[in-house]
């Protein structure tokens, strides 16, 4: 198993992901204690797990990119 502390894992994340994809057990530690494991996501039946799923899409409307007016900003504060 590969163990890396969180601070070093940030620098070598790509290598850790590649190791996990190759079947290696990979763990990220915090203060020397393993807290997270990296495991590959295996698509079922050849499906792409990152595909766009229309039923989960959120419609934002035509004004989604317009700036908020003063009243709307007040509602957020």
| Chosen CATH of 1-41 out of 3.30.2010.10, 3.40.1620.10, 3.40.50.300, 3.50.50.60 | 3.40.1620.10
Backbone angles phi, psi at 30, to 5 degrees: -125, 120
CA R_g for the chain: 21
Residues 6+ apart with CB under 8 A from 38: 16, 17, 20, 26, 27, 28
pLDDT digits (tens, 9 = 90+) for 36-53: 999 987 765 666 766 767
Distances 38 to 2, 30, 35, 50, 58 between C-alpha atoms, Å? 10, 14, 10, 17, 29
Q: Return the pLDDT at 3.
A: 94
Q: Return the pLDDT at 24.
A: 93
Instruction: Return averaged pLDDT per consecutive 10 residues of the chain, 77 residues in all.
Output: 92 94 93 92 66 72 74 67
């Amino acid at each position: 198993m590969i163990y890396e502390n969180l601070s070093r894992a940030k620098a070598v994340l790509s290598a850790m992901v590649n190791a996990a994809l190759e079947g290696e057990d990979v763990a990220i530690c915090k203060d020397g204690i393993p807290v997270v494991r990296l495991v590959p996501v295996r698509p079922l039946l050849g499906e792409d797990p990152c595909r766009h799923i229309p039923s989960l899409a959120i419609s934002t409307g035509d004004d989604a990119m317009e700036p908020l007016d003063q009243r709307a900003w007040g509602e957020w504060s």
